[in-house]
Structure 1
Amino acid sequence: MARESTEPSVETGRWNLQTVGGIAALTEAAIYIAGIAYFLVILNYANVTAPRQQVELFVANQTSLYAMYLLIYVVFGIVLVALVLALHDRLKTGAPSLMQAATAFGLIWAGLVIASGMIANIGTATIVDLYATDPSQATTAWLAINPVVEGLGGGNEVVGGLWTLLVSVAALRAGMLHRVLNYFGVVVGMAGVLSAIPALGVIGGGIFGLTQIVWFVGLGILLLQASRQTIK
Protein backbone atom coordinates (compact mmCIF):
# COMPACT_ATOMS: atom_id res chain seq x y z
CA MET A 1 0.00 0.00 0.00
CA ALA A 2 1.34 3.44 -0.96
CA ARG A 3 2.16 5.73 1.91
CA GLU A 4 0.04 8.83 2.18
CA SER A 5 2.12 11.98 1.80
CA THR A 6 2.13 14.42 4.67
CA GLU A 7 3.59 17.27 2.58
CA PRO A 8 1.33 20.06 1.30
CA SER A 9 0.09 19.28 -2.19
CA VAL A 10 0.69 21.44 -5.24
CA GLU A 11 -3.07 21.73 -5.70
CA THR A 12 -3.50 23.19 -2.23
CA GLY A 13 -0.82 25.80 -2.93
CA ARG A 14 -2.41 26.58 -6.27
CA TRP A 15 -5.82 26.95 -4.65
CA ASN A 16 -4.36 29.43 -2.19
CA LEU A 17 -2.77 31.49 -4.96
CA GLN A 18 -5.93 31.46 -7.10
CA THR A 19 -8.00 32.59 -4.14
CA VAL A 20 -5.59 35.45 -3.50
CA GLY A 21 -5.71 36.30 -7.20
CA GLY A 22 -9.51 36.38 -7.23
CA ILE A 23 -9.64 38.63 -4.19
CA ALA A 24 -6.93 40.83 -5.72
CA ALA A 25 -8.86 41.25 -8.98
CA LEU A 26 -12.03 42.29 -7.15
CA THR A 27 -9.98 44.64 -4.97
CA GLU A 28 -8.50 46.32 -8.05
CA ALA A 29 -12.00 46.93 -9.41
CA ALA A 30 -13.10 48.42 -6.10
CA ILE A 31 -10.06 50.72 -6.03
CA TYR A 32 -10.82 51.90 -9.55
CA ILE A 33 -14.39 52.75 -8.54
CA ALA A 34 -13.24 54.52 -5.37
CA GLY A 35 -10.79 56.64 -7.36
CA ILE A 36 -13.37 57.62 -9.96
CA ALA A 37 -15.91 58.52 -7.27
CA TYR A 38 -13.38 60.61 -5.35
CA PHE A 39 -11.94 62.64 -8.22
CA LEU A 40 -15.08 63.06 -10.33
CA VAL A 41 -17.78 63.30 -7.66
CA ILE A 42 -16.16 64.52 -4.43
CA LEU A 43 -13.39 66.74 -5.82
CA ASN A 44 -15.09 67.46 -9.16
CA TYR A 45 -11.56 67.47 -10.55
CA ALA A 46 -12.62 67.21 -14.19
CA ASN A 47 -14.06 70.73 -14.09
CA VAL A 48 -10.98 72.27 -12.45
CA THR A 49 -8.65 72.88 -15.38
CA ALA A 50 -6.54 75.89 -14.38
CA PRO A 51 -3.26 74.87 -12.67
CA ARG A 52 -3.69 77.48 -9.92
CA GLN A 53 -7.19 76.19 -9.13
CA GLN A 54 -5.90 72.62 -9.06
CA VAL A 55 -3.24 73.60 -6.53
CA GLU A 56 -5.86 75.34 -4.40
CA LEU A 57 -7.97 72.19 -4.55
CA PHE A 58 -5.01 70.13 -3.35
CA VAL A 59 -4.35 72.51 -0.47
CA ALA A 60 -7.98 72.32 0.67
CA ASN A 61 -8.05 68.49 0.47
CA GLN A 62 -4.49 67.49 1.36
CA THR A 63 -5.31 64.72 3.85
CA SER A 64 -7.96 62.95 1.79
CA LEU A 65 -5.88 63.39 -1.37
CA TYR A 66 -2.86 61.77 0.31
CA ALA A 67 -5.00 58.81 1.37
CA MET A 68 -6.51 58.46 -2.10
CA TYR A 69 -3.15 58.61 -3.87
CA LEU A 70 -1.92 55.95 -1.47
CA LEU A 71 -4.92 53.77 -2.31
CA ILE A 72 -5.18 54.16 -6.09
CA TYR A 73 -1.47 54.00 -6.76
CA VAL A 74 0.52 52.29 -4.00
CA VAL A 75 -2.09 49.82 -2.75
CA PHE A 76 -3.28 49.19 -6.30
CA GLY A 77 0.26 48.34 -7.38
CA ILE A 78 0.90 46.04 -4.44
CA VAL A 79 -2.35 44.15 -5.00
CA LEU A 80 -1.59 44.00 -8.72
CA VAL A 81 1.56 41.98 -8.00
CA ALA A 82 -0.55 39.27 -6.34
CA LEU A 83 -2.92 39.18 -9.32
CA VAL A 84 -0.08 39.03 -11.85
CA LEU A 85 1.50 36.08 -10.06
CA ALA A 86 -1.83 34.27 -9.71
CA LEU A 87 -2.54 34.60 -13.43
CA HIS A 88 0.97 33.47 -14.27
CA ASP A 89 0.47 30.36 -12.13
CA ARG A 90 -2.85 29.58 -13.78
CA LEU A 91 -1.93 30.15 -17.43
CA LYS A 92 1.80 29.34 -17.65
CA THR A 93 1.33 25.71 -18.68
CA GLY A 94 -1.09 26.54 -21.51
CA ALA A 95 0.88 29.43 -23.01
CA PRO A 96 4.33 29.59 -21.37
CA SER A 97 6.03 32.11 -23.66
CA LEU A 98 3.10 34.52 -23.71
CA MET A 99 2.75 34.36 -19.94
CA GLN A 100 6.43 35.09 -19.43
CA ALA A 101 6.01 38.30 -21.43
CA ALA A 102 2.67 39.11 -19.78
CA THR A 103 4.06 38.63 -16.28
CA ALA A 104 7.03 40.85 -17.06
CA PHE A 105 4.75 43.66 -18.26
CA GLY A 106 2.42 43.15 -15.30
CA LEU A 107 5.22 43.51 -12.75
CA ILE A 108 6.64 46.52 -14.60
CA TRP A 109 3.18 48.12 -14.53
CA ALA A 110 2.87 47.49 -10.80
CA GLY A 111 6.24 49.14 -10.20
CA LEU A 112 5.35 52.17 -12.32
CA VAL A 113 2.03 52.64 -10.54
CA ILE A 114 3.63 52.43 -7.08
CA ALA A 115 6.34 54.91 -8.10
CA SER A 116 3.71 57.26 -9.46
CA GLY A 117 1.84 57.25 -6.16
CA MET A 118 4.98 57.97 -4.15
CA ILE A 119 5.87 60.89 -6.41
CA ALA A 120 2.28 62.17 -6.30
CA ASN A 121 2.19 62.21 -2.49
CA ILE A 122 5.62 63.74 -2.02
CA GLY A 123 4.93 66.24 -4.79
CA THR A 124 1.57 67.24 -3.35
CA ALA A 125 3.11 67.79 0.09
CA THR A 126 5.79 69.98 -1.48
CA ILE A 127 3.20 71.99 -3.39
CA VAL A 128 1.07 72.54 -0.30
CA ASP A 129 4.10 73.77 1.66
CA LEU A 130 5.10 76.12 -1.16
CA TYR A 131 1.59 77.48 -1.49
CA ALA A 132 1.72 78.83 2.07
CA THR A 133 4.56 81.19 1.13
CA ASP A 134 4.46 81.51 -2.68
CA PRO A 135 1.32 80.38 -4.56
CA SER A 136 2.89 81.15 -7.93
CA GLN A 137 5.91 78.95 -7.23
CA ALA A 138 3.60 76.19 -6.00
CA THR A 139 1.72 76.33 -9.29
CA THR A 140 4.98 76.18 -11.24
CA ALA A 141 6.08 73.17 -9.20
CA TRP A 142 2.77 71.44 -9.94
CA LEU A 143 3.24 72.01 -13.67
CA ALA A 144 6.59 70.21 -13.38
CA ILE A 145 5.47 67.35 -11.13
CA ASN A 146 2.15 66.49 -12.80
CA PRO A 147 3.64 65.24 -16.12
CA VAL A 148 5.94 62.89 -14.20
CA VAL A 149 3.01 61.42 -12.23
CA GLU A 150 0.89 61.13 -15.37
CA GLY A 151 3.70 59.65 -17.42
CA LEU A 152 4.36 56.92 -14.88
CA GLY A 153 0.88 56.01 -13.72
CA GLY A 154 -2.00 57.29 -15.77
CA GLY A 155 -1.23 59.62 -18.64
CA ASN A 156 -1.08 56.61 -20.93
CA GLU A 157 -1.88 52.99 -20.22
CA VAL A 158 0.36 51.22 -22.70
CA VAL A 159 2.10 48.94 -20.16
CA GLY A 160 -1.12 47.96 -18.38
CA GLY A 161 -2.76 47.53 -21.76
CA LEU A 162 -0.02 45.19 -22.96
CA TRP A 163 -0.35 43.10 -19.79
CA THR A 164 -4.13 42.82 -20.16
CA LEU A 165 -3.83 42.04 -23.86
CA LEU A 166 -1.16 39.35 -23.42
CA VAL A 167 -2.99 37.69 -20.52
CA SER A 168 -6.19 37.57 -22.56
CA VAL A 169 -4.47 36.13 -25.65
CA ALA A 170 -2.66 33.58 -23.48
CA ALA A 171 -5.95 32.53 -21.87
CA LEU A 172 -7.54 32.14 -25.31
CA ARG A 173 -4.63 30.04 -26.54
CA ALA A 174 -4.69 27.89 -23.40
CA GLY A 175 -8.49 27.51 -23.51
CA MET A 176 -8.78 28.76 -19.93
CA LEU A 177 -10.81 31.34 -18.00
CA HIS A 178 -13.80 32.23 -20.22
CA ARG A 179 -13.80 32.99 -23.96
CA VAL A 180 -16.12 36.00 -23.63
CA LEU A 181 -13.98 37.49 -20.87
CA ASN A 182 -10.82 36.79 -22.85
CA TYR A 183 -12.10 38.52 -25.99
CA PHE A 184 -13.29 41.39 -23.82
CA GLY A 185 -9.80 41.56 -22.29
CA VAL A 186 -8.31 41.88 -25.77
CA VAL A 187 -10.50 44.95 -26.35
CA VAL A 188 -9.52 46.38 -22.94
CA GLY A 189 -5.84 45.80 -23.65
CA MET A 190 -6.02 47.36 -27.11
CA ALA A 191 -7.65 50.47 -25.63
CA GLY A 192 -4.76 50.77 -23.20
CA VAL A 193 -2.16 50.36 -25.96
CA LEU A 194 -3.89 52.96 -28.16
CA SER A 195 -3.79 55.47 -25.29
CA ALA A 196 -0.08 55.85 -26.09
CA ILE A 197 -1.09 57.71 -29.26
CA PRO A 198 -1.45 61.41 -28.32
CA ALA A 199 -4.63 61.92 -30.33
CA LEU A 200 -6.25 58.92 -28.65
CA GLY A 201 -4.74 59.32 -25.18
CA VAL A 202 -7.79 60.63 -23.32
CA ILE A 203 -10.30 58.42 -25.12
CA GLY A 204 -8.16 55.28 -24.97
CA GLY A 205 -7.26 55.82 -21.33
CA GLY A 206 -10.87 56.44 -20.37
CA ILE A 207 -12.10 53.32 -22.18
CA PHE A 208 -9.27 51.28 -20.67
CA GLY A 209 -10.05 52.38 -17.12
CA LEU A 210 -13.80 51.83 -17.31
CA THR A 211 -13.69 48.52 -19.17
CA GLN A 212 -10.91 47.15 -17.00
CA ILE A 213 -13.22 47.46 -14.00
CA VAL A 214 -15.56 44.97 -15.70
CA TRP A 215 -12.61 42.76 -16.68
CA PHE A 216 -11.28 42.74 -13.11
CA VAL A 217 -14.70 41.77 -11.72
CA GLY A 218 -15.13 38.93 -14.23
CA LEU A 219 -11.58 37.76 -13.62
CA GLY A 220 -12.04 37.80 -9.86
CA ILE A 221 -15.21 35.72 -10.05
CA LEU A 222 -13.60 33.15 -12.35
CA LEU A 223 -10.48 32.79 -10.22
CA LEU A 224 -12.52 32.33 -7.05
CA GLN A 225 -14.71 29.74 -8.77
CA ALA A 226 -11.60 27.90 -9.97
CA SER A 227 -10.15 27.87 -6.47
CA ARG A 228 -13.31 26.26 -5.09
CA GLN A 229 -13.34 23.58 -7.80
CA THR A 230 -9.68 22.72 -7.13
CA ILE A 231 -10.31 21.67 -3.53
CA LYS A 232 -13.43 19.61 -4.24
Structure 2
Amino acid sequence: MSIQKWGGVAAIAEASIYLFGFVLFFTILDPSGFEANVVDEASGIAINGLTLDVAQRNLLFMIQNRDSYFIGYLVCGVVFSFTLLILVQAIYQRFKQSFPELMIFAAAVGYLWVGIVLASSLIFLIGLGAITHYYGLNPEQALTIHRTLSIVVEALGGGIELVGAVWVLAVSYVGLKSHIFSPWLHYWGMFVGISGVLTLFSGLSFLSTQPLFEFMTAIFGLGQILWFLVLGIGMLSETSIAESVSYIED
Protein backbone atom coordinates (compact mmCIF):
# COMPACT_ATOMS: atom_id res chain seq x y z
CA MET A 1 0.00 0.00 0.00
CA SER A 2 1.35 3.43 -0.97
CA ILE A 3 2.32 6.11 1.55
CA GLN A 4 -0.58 8.27 0.36
CA LYS A 5 -3.08 5.50 0.96
CA TRP A 6 -1.59 4.96 4.40
CA GLY A 7 -1.92 8.69 4.93
CA GLY A 8 -5.60 8.61 3.97
CA VAL A 9 -6.24 5.78 6.40
CA ALA A 10 -4.28 7.67 9.08
CA ALA A 11 -6.32 10.86 8.54
CA ILE A 12 -9.61 9.01 8.93
CA ALA A 13 -8.21 7.25 11.99
CA GLU A 14 -7.31 10.66 13.49
CA ALA A 15 -10.90 11.82 13.05
CA SER A 16 -12.13 8.61 14.68
CA ILE A 17 -9.73 9.05 17.60
CA TYR A 18 -10.97 12.60 18.13
CA LEU A 19 -14.57 11.34 18.21
CA PHE A 20 -13.60 8.59 20.63
CA GLY A 21 -11.89 11.14 22.88
CA PHE A 22 -14.83 13.54 22.93
CA VAL A 23 -17.27 10.76 23.79
CA LEU A 24 -15.00 9.30 26.47
CA PHE A 25 -13.85 12.45 28.25
CA PHE A 26 -16.98 14.58 27.93
CA THR A 27 -19.62 11.94 28.63
CA ILE A 28 -18.32 8.74 30.21
CA LEU A 29 -15.53 10.39 32.21
CA ASP A 30 -17.42 13.55 33.13
CA PRO A 31 -16.93 14.01 36.91
CA SER A 32 -19.60 16.70 37.26
CA GLY A 33 -22.26 14.20 38.33
CA PHE A 34 -19.94 12.23 40.58
CA GLU A 35 -21.14 12.32 44.18
CA ALA A 36 -18.27 11.17 46.34
CA ASN A 37 -19.13 10.10 49.84
CA VAL A 38 -16.85 10.41 52.79
CA VAL A 39 -15.08 7.11 52.21
CA ASP A 40 -12.89 6.33 49.21
CA GLU A 41 -13.76 2.79 48.18
CA ALA A 42 -10.51 2.48 46.21
CA SER A 43 -8.22 3.11 49.17
CA GLY A 44 -10.56 2.64 52.15
CA ILE A 45 -9.57 6.04 53.51
CA ALA A 46 -12.21 7.85 55.58
CA ILE A 47 -12.48 11.61 55.14
CA ASN A 48 -13.94 12.37 58.59
CA GLY A 49 -17.48 12.93 57.39
CA LEU A 50 -16.58 16.02 55.36
CA THR A 51 -17.88 16.67 51.87
CA LEU A 52 -15.17 16.68 49.23
CA ASP A 53 -14.49 19.91 47.37
CA VAL A 54 -14.41 20.00 43.57
CA ALA A 55 -10.66 19.34 43.26
CA GLN A 56 -10.75 16.41 45.69
CA ARG A 57 -13.85 15.00 44.04
CA ASN A 58 -12.26 15.15 40.59
CA LEU A 59 -9.12 13.49 41.92
CA LEU A 60 -11.08 10.68 43.54
CA PHE A 61 -13.13 10.23 40.36
CA MET A 62 -9.91 9.90 38.34
CA ILE A 63 -8.47 7.32 40.73
CA GLN A 64 -11.64 5.25 40.74
CA ASN A 65 -11.70 5.35 36.92
CA ARG A 66 -7.96 4.93 36.49
CA ASP A 67 -8.13 2.25 33.80
CA SER A 68 -10.57 4.27 31.68
CA TYR A 69 -8.29 7.32 31.85
CA PHE A 70 -5.30 5.14 30.99
CA ILE A 71 -7.03 3.71 27.91
CA GLY A 72 -8.24 7.17 26.93
CA TYR A 73 -4.76 8.70 26.94
CA LEU A 74 -3.28 5.59 25.37
CA VAL A 75 -5.62 5.95 22.39
CA CYS A 76 -5.98 9.75 22.20
CA GLY A 77 -2.32 10.39 22.92
CA VAL A 78 -0.03 7.51 22.03
CA VAL A 79 -2.00 5.99 19.15
CA PHE A 80 -2.91 9.47 17.88
CA SER A 81 0.77 10.48 17.84
CA PHE A 82 2.03 7.54 15.79
CA THR A 83 -0.94 7.80 13.44
CA LEU A 84 -0.22 11.50 12.99
CA LEU A 85 3.40 10.63 12.22
CA ILE A 86 2.23 8.60 9.20
CA LEU A 87 -0.07 11.40 8.07
CA VAL A 88 2.62 14.10 8.33
CA GLN A 89 4.96 12.01 6.19
CA ALA A 90 2.24 11.27 3.63
CA ILE A 91 1.21 14.93 3.38
CA TYR A 92 4.83 15.96 2.91
CA GLN A 93 5.34 13.47 0.09
CA ARG A 94 2.14 14.59 -1.65
CA PHE A 95 2.56 18.37 -1.27
CA LYS A 96 6.32 18.87 -1.52
CA GLN A 97 6.49 19.27 -5.32
CA SER A 98 4.82 22.69 -5.33
CA PHE A 99 6.33 24.35 -2.25
CA PRO A 100 9.31 22.22 -1.13
CA GLU A 101 10.77 24.74 1.35
CA LEU A 102 7.43 25.46 3.00
CA MET A 103 6.63 21.76 3.20
CA ILE A 104 9.94 21.06 4.91
CA PHE A 105 8.90 23.63 7.51
CA ALA A 106 5.40 22.12 7.73
CA ALA A 107 6.78 18.60 8.16
CA ALA A 108 9.11 19.78 10.94
CA VAL A 109 6.18 21.42 12.74
CA GLY A 110 4.10 18.27 12.24
CA TYR A 111 6.80 16.09 13.76
CA LEU A 112 7.09 18.56 16.64
CA TRP A 113 3.36 18.23 17.21
CA VAL A 114 3.73 14.45 17.28
CA GLY A 115 6.44 14.73 19.91
CA ILE A 116 4.50 17.16 22.09
CA VAL A 117 1.31 15.08 22.11
CA LEU A 118 3.27 11.88 22.76
CA ALA A 119 5.27 13.48 25.59
CA SER A 120 2.18 14.90 27.31
CA SER A 121 0.43 11.53 27.08
CA LEU A 122 3.34 9.56 28.51
CA ILE A 123 3.71 12.09 31.33
CA PHE A 124 0.03 11.64 32.17
CA LEU A 125 0.24 7.84 32.08
CA ILE A 126 3.20 7.85 34.47
CA GLY A 127 1.62 10.54 36.64
CA LEU A 128 -1.62 8.59 36.91
CA GLY A 129 0.19 5.75 38.66
CA ALA A 130 2.00 8.18 40.97
CA ILE A 131 -1.24 9.92 41.94
CA THR A 132 -2.91 6.63 42.76
CA HIS A 133 0.06 5.53 44.86
CA TYR A 134 0.36 8.74 46.85
CA TYR A 135 -3.38 9.04 47.40
CA GLY A 136 -3.19 5.97 49.61
CA LEU A 137 -0.40 7.60 51.63
CA ASN A 138 -1.37 11.26 51.68
CA PRO A 139 -4.44 12.54 49.79
CA GLU A 140 -3.28 16.17 50.03
CA GLN A 141 0.08 15.29 48.49
CA ALA A 142 -1.71 13.39 45.73
CA LEU A 143 -3.86 16.46 45.08
CA THR A 144 -0.73 18.60 44.72
CA ILE A 145 0.76 16.11 42.26
CA HIS A 146 -2.50 16.06 40.34
CA ARG A 147 -2.54 19.86 40.02
CA THR A 148 1.08 19.93 38.89
CA LEU A 149 0.49 17.13 36.41
CA SER A 150 -2.55 18.92 35.00
CA ILE A 151 -0.53 22.08 34.33
CA VAL A 152 2.25 20.18 32.55
CA VAL A 153 -0.09 18.02 30.46
CA GLU A 154 -2.29 21.00 29.59
CA ALA A 155 0.72 23.08 28.56
CA LEU A 156 1.97 20.35 26.24
CA GLY A 157 -1.21 18.68 25.13
CA GLY A 158 -4.01 21.11 24.45
CA GLY A 159 -4.10 24.27 26.52
CA ILE A 160 -2.43 26.13 23.67
CA GLU A 161 -2.99 24.60 20.24
CA LEU A 162 -0.31 26.63 18.46
CA VAL A 163 1.89 23.86 17.06
CA GLY A 164 -0.90 21.75 15.58
CA ALA A 165 -2.61 24.88 14.28
CA VAL A 166 0.51 26.05 12.43
CA TRP A 167 0.83 22.65 10.76
CA VAL A 168 -2.82 22.68 9.65
CA LEU A 169 -2.42 26.25 8.38
CA ALA A 170 0.72 25.45 6.39
CA VAL A 171 -0.78 22.33 4.83
CA SER A 172 -4.00 24.17 3.98
CA TYR A 173 -2.12 27.08 2.39
CA VAL A 174 -0.01 24.79 0.20
CA GLY A 175 -3.03 22.68 -0.75
CA LEU A 176 -4.99 25.77 -1.72
CA LYS A 177 -2.19 27.29 -3.79
CA SER A 178 -1.36 23.97 -5.45
CA HIS A 179 -4.99 23.06 -6.17
CA ILE A 180 -4.63 19.75 -4.34
CA PHE A 181 -7.97 18.33 -3.16
CA SER A 182 -11.03 20.51 -2.61
CA PRO A 183 -10.42 24.24 -1.96
CA TRP A 184 -13.20 24.14 0.64
CA LEU A 185 -11.15 21.60 2.61
CA HIS A 186 -8.26 24.07 2.76
CA TYR A 187 -10.46 27.08 3.58
CA TRP A 188 -11.86 25.07 6.45
CA GLY A 189 -8.34 24.05 7.47
CA MET A 190 -7.24 27.68 7.55
CA PHE A 191 -10.25 28.60 9.70
CA VAL A 192 -9.45 25.74 12.09
CA GLY A 193 -5.77 26.65 12.10
CA ILE A 194 -6.43 30.32 12.89
CA SER A 195 -8.71 29.26 15.74
CA GLY A 196 -5.88 27.17 17.16
CA VAL A 197 -3.35 30.01 16.84
CA LEU A 198 -5.67 32.34 18.78
CA THR A 199 -5.49 30.06 21.83
CA LEU A 200 -1.92 31.33 22.28
CA PHE A 201 -3.24 34.65 23.59
CA SER A 202 -5.43 33.17 26.33
CA GLY A 203 -2.63 33.82 28.85
CA LEU A 204 -2.86 37.60 28.56
CA SER A 205 -4.35 38.99 31.77
CA PHE A 206 -7.05 41.06 30.12
CA LEU A 207 -8.07 38.14 27.90
CA SER A 208 -7.74 35.21 30.32
CA THR A 209 -11.33 35.47 31.54
CA GLN A 210 -12.83 35.73 28.06
CA PRO A 211 -14.85 32.65 27.00
CA LEU A 212 -13.72 33.27 23.42
CA PHE A 213 -10.56 31.21 23.89
CA GLU A 214 -12.38 28.18 25.23
CA PHE A 215 -14.56 28.51 22.14
CA MET A 216 -11.47 28.67 19.90
CA THR A 217 -10.08 25.53 21.53
CA ALA A 218 -13.38 23.75 20.90
CA ILE A 219 -13.41 24.92 17.27
CA PHE A 220 -9.87 23.62 16.76
CA GLY A 221 -10.69 20.23 18.27
CA LEU A 222 -14.09 19.70 16.71
CA GLY A 223 -13.09 21.34 13.42
CA GLN A 224 -10.21 18.93 13.00
CA ILE A 225 -12.62 16.00 12.97
CA LEU A 226 -14.17 17.22 9.73
CA TRP A 227 -10.79 18.32 8.34
CA PHE A 228 -9.12 14.96 8.99
CA LEU A 229 -12.10 13.05 7.65
CA VAL A 230 -12.38 14.97 4.36
CA LEU A 231 -8.60 14.98 3.95
CA GLY A 232 -8.47 11.21 4.37
CA ILE A 233 -11.28 10.65 1.90
CA GLY A 234 -9.52 12.93 -0.61
CA MET A 235 -6.23 11.09 -0.26
CA LEU A 236 -7.84 7.68 -0.63
CA SER A 237 -9.98 8.77 -3.58
CA GLU A 238 -7.01 10.28 -5.38
CA THR A 239 -4.99 7.13 -4.80
CA SER A 240 -7.82 4.94 -6.13
CA ILE A 241 -8.14 7.07 -9.27
CA ALA A 242 -4.38 6.97 -9.85
CA GLU A 243 -4.32 3.20 -9.45
CA SER A 244 -7.24 2.81 -11.87
CA VAL A 245 -5.53 4.96 -14.49
CA SER A 246 -2.30 3.02 -14.04
CA TYR A 247 -4.16 -0.27 -14.44
CA ILE A 248 -5.86 0.93 -17.67
CA GLU A 249 -2.56 2.13 -19.13
CA ASP A 250 -0.93 -1.19 -18.37
Q: What TM-score does the superposition give when structure 2 sets the normalisation length?
A: 0.84
**Partner residue of 1:43?**
29
Q: Which of the two has higher C-alpha Rg?
A: 2
Q: Map Cα deviations across residues 138-167 of structure 1 (whole Å, 9 max, x no partner).
A: 001111111100111111100000000000
Tell me if the contact between 1:98 and 1:166 (Cα under 8 Å) persists in the aligned partners.
yes
Q: How does 1:215-230 map to 2 (within 5 A)?
A: 215-230=227-242
Q: What TM-score does the superposition give when structure 1 sets the normalisation length?
A: 0.90
How many Å separate the matches in 1 of 2:201 and 2:104? 26
**Partner residue of 1:70?**
74
Query: Against the structure 1 CA distance between its residues 74 and 59, is the aligned structure 2 distance closer, same or farther, given a 3 Å change threshold?
Result: same
Tell me if the contact between 1:39 and 1:46 (Cα under 8 Å) persists in the aligned partners.
no
**Partner residue of 1:12?**
none
How many Å separate the matches in 2 of 1:75 and 1:54? 25
Give the letter aligned to residue 218 of structure 2: G
Paired residue for 1:208, among 220, 238, 248?
220
Q: Map Cα deviations across residues 13-64 of structure 1 (whole Å, 9 max, x no partner).
A: xx61111000000000111011110111101146789321221111110111
How many Å separate the matches in 1 of 2:13 and 2:22? 14
Query: Against the structure 1 CA distance between its residues 46 and 197, is the aligned structure 2 distance closer, same or farther, given a 3 Å change threshold?
Result: farther
**Partner residue of 1:174?**
178
Count of aligned positions:
218
89-98 or 103-112, which deviates more: 89-98
Runs of 5+ consecutive residues of structure 2 not aligned to the other structure: 35-52, 245-250
How many Å separate the matches in 2 of 1:51 and 1:77? 29
How many Å separate the matches in 2 of 1:142 and 1:32? 24
Give aligned-pair identity as a percent: 38
More helix by share: 1
Give the letter aligned to residue 206 of structure 1: A
How many Å separate the matches in 2 of 1:81 and 1:160? 12
How many Å separate the matches in 2 of 1:178 and 1:145? 41
Paired residue for 1:83, among 79, 87, 95?
87
How many Å separate the matches in 1 of 2:187 and 2:101? 19
Give the letter aligned to residue 202 of structure 1: E
Give yes or no for the alignment of 1:52 onto 2:56: yes
How many Å separate the matches in 2 of 1:61 and 1:116? 19
Give yes or no for the alignment of 1:149 onto 2:173: no
Give the letter aligned to residue 95 of structure 1: F
Paired residue for 2:18, among 19, 28, 32?
32
Coordinate RMSD, CA, aligned: 1.4
How many Å separate the matches in 2 of 1:161 and 1:35? 19
193-202 or 213-222, which deviates more: 193-202
**Partner residue of 1:10?**
none
Give the deviation of 1:133 after TM superposition: 1.7
Give the deviation of 1:75 after TM superposition: 0.7
Tell me if the contact between 1:25 and 1:219 (Cα under 8 Å) persists in the aligned partners.
yes
Give the letter aligned to residue 108 of structure 1: L
Tell me if the contact between 1:39 and 1:45 (Cα under 8 Å) persists in the aligned partners.
no
How many Å separate the matches in 2 of 1:120 and 1:205? 20
Query: Against the structure 1 CA distance between its residues 207 and 62, is the aligned structure 2 distance closer, same or farther, given a 3 Å change threshold?
Result: same
How many Å separate the matches in 1 of 2:241 and 2:223? 27
Give yes or no for the alignment of 1:103 onto 2:107: yes
**Partner residue of 1:191?**
195
**Partner residue of 2:39?**
none
Runs of 5+ consecutive residues of structure 1 not aligned to the other structure: 1-14
Dislocated runs of 4+, deviation >4 Å: 45-49
